[in-house]
Amino acid sequence: MVMSPELDRAIVLRDEAAARGHMARICFKTGPPTLTGVELEWTVHDAADPTRPVDRERLRRALGRHSPVTIDPTSPAAGLRRGGTVTVEPGGQVEISSAPRPSVAALILATEADLAELRALLDAAGLVLGRTGMDPWRPPRPVVETPRYRAMRCVFDRHGPAGRAMMYSTAGLQVCLDAGEPDRVAERWAAVHAVGPPLLAAFATADRYAGRRTGWASTRMAAWLAIDPARTRPVWSPARAHLDPVATWTEYALAAPLLCVRGDGPDWTPPPGVTFADWLAGALPHPPSTDDLEYHLSTLFPPVRPRGYLEVRYLDAQPGREWTVPLAVLAALLGDPATTRDALAVATPVADRWSAAARRGLTERPLATAAAALFDLALAALPRLDLPAGIHDETSRAIRRRRAAAERGHR
């Protein structure tokens, strides 16, 4: 395979030790937890007929100079006014990736401004953002085709239809939190995983897909769980809580099959079953580089992914301004060590119930009980976020509504 000039400049990895060392340097960047980020993704619909497909050209015209190069190679891919970056996913979902901010209040204000700008662009084109984590009206349909996405589809098709559902029909909310000081990383890593099932249940919005009810509270998470456990299962679990996060993530990443092998041509599909560890051992004609390893890491999709910071991936997209609520809850729960320890203690008994959370949501009594307790902890810690009075009151009311829903769920 002929490699691109950019790949030629990367450092070649000769063995697993080199790969492990590189991952240790880039995946958990430690220090005082000061920054918070958010990535908001939505399905996009025709305002008059939400069942109507929205094609790539219509999105390109709507987004204009903010279009990513995946839908317009000539675009400047300009950021939004407050620093957010716009991307378009394989099924035409639109995503804003915020610039991380030193306070949750600053993050909310900046992201809301960028979101208003995005909505205005779409509104002028007769388009609206979806309100749930799964397209409730349309079947999966490709909108953006790239070598990466074609390879993903090919690999996922080996496991059934869930991959296409995920690629073309899901919309998530990702919260990005600092890994923390070296002596706190393991606890923060554990807590952000453990609270996942109860928060997934509490914020599930994806019970409809392609025109029907599915029987799942979060059909989005159901799709993720059905794709390929080697790249989507949680990295942490209570049974593995004693293991070092860096070592656990390294083992996970090296054992995961390749999703793409980049080259100059249009076909990036890897040989079936070849893992990154196999590649290091000589399974492909050329050795991998540090750039190949980092790209491989971008094709792993566990509920929490370390990217220097902790990327929380288990939440469904929320309607309207409701995206601020799970953001504030997670920031409050991870805001100080005592609250983080309490959240971990509350959630550990249900930390493995990912499938139950996706299927039954808050009707699963242990998940509802844990969610209510987590909301109590978040409410107690909320003042430490120093939100402006209006945002604080709005957020507090929203968390109390969610807590009441959790209480109703476990009765």
pLDDT tens digit sequence for 11-37 = 999 999 999 999 999 999 999 999 999
* Contact indicator for 99, 84 with CB cutoff of 8 Å: yes
Say what the pLDDT of residue 408 is: 87
Average pLDDT over residues 263-270: 94
pLDDT level of residue 62 (50, 70, 90 thresholds): very high
DSSP code at position 32? -
pLDDT at 1 over 70: no
Q: Per-residue pLDDT for 405 more than 70?
A: yes
Residue of 93, 120, 2, 103 lying closest to 39 (CA atoms) = 93
pLDDT above 70 coverage of the chain, percent:
97
* Mean pLDDT calculated for residue range 176-183: 96
- Percent pLDDT > 90 in the chain is 95
pLDDT band at 410 (very low <50, low <70, confident <90, very high): low
What pLDDT band is residue 77 in, cutting at 50, 70 and 90? very high
Report d(CA 65, CA 402) in Å as an integer: 38
Determine the pLDDT at residue 4.
38
Amino acid 66 reads: H
The count of C-alpha atoms lying within 13 angstroms of the C-alpha of 83, restricted to the half-sphere facing its C-beta, is 13
For residues 306 and 299, give the distance between their C-alpha atoms in angstroms, rounded to a whole number. 12
Please say if the pLDDT value at position 7 is more than 90. no
Side-chain half-sphere CA neighbours of 196 within 13 A: 33
What integer pLDDT is reported at residue 39 of this predicted model? Answer: 98
What are the residue ranges of helices labelled H in 178-309? 185-194, 196-202, 219-227, 229-232, 245-255, 276-280, 290-297
**What integer is the mean pLDDT of 376-395?**
97
Mean pLDDT (the chain) is 95
Q: How far is CA 82 from CA 65, 117, 141, 256, in A?
A: 15, 10, 32, 37
Report the 3 state secondary structure along the chain.
CCCCHHHHCCCECCCHHHHHHHHHHHCECCCCCCCEEEEEEECEEECCCCCCCCCHHHHHHHHHHHCCCCCCCCCCCCCCCCCCEEEECCCCCEEEECCCECCHHHHHHHHHHHHHHHHHHHHHCCEEECCCCECCCCCCCCCCCCHHHHHHHHHHHCCCCHHHHHHHHECEEEEEECCCCCCCHHHHHHHHHHCHHHHHHHCCCECEECCEECCCCEHHHHHHHHHCHHHHCCCCCHHHCCCCHHHHHHHHHHHCECCCCCCCCCCCCCCCCCEHHHHHCCCCCCCCEHHHHHHHHCCCCCCEEECECEEEEEEECCCHHHHHHHHHHHHHHCCCHHHHHHHHHHHHHHCCCHHHHHHHHHHCHHHHHHHHHHHHHHHHHHHHHCCCHHHHHHHHHHHHHHHHHHHHHCC
In sequence order, the 6+-apart residues with CB closer than 8 A to the CB of 26 are 294, 308
Q: Check pLDDT > 90 for residue 409.
A: no
Separation of CA 238 from chain center = 22
CA-to-CA distance for 279 and 328, rounded, in angstroms? 41
Give the model's pLDDT for residue 411.
58
CA distance 85 to 39: 9
Specify whether the CB–CB gap between 177 and 312 falls below 8 A.
yes
Rounded-to-integer distance, Cα 25 and Cα 53, Å:
43
Model pLDDT, residue 10: 81
Measured CA to CA, the distance from residue 300 to residue 227 in angstroms comes to 11
Residues in the chain: 411
Per DSSP, the three-state class of 208 is strand
In the prediction, which pLDDT does 63 show?
98
pLDDT classification of 5: cutoffs 50, 70, 90: very low
Three-state DSSP class for residue 330: helix
Q: If pLDDT is split at 50, 70 and 90, which confidence band does 117 have?
A: very high
259-281: b (≥16 Cβ within 10 Å) or e: bbbbeeeeebbbeeeebbebbbe
The stretch 305-325 carries a mean pLDDT of: 97
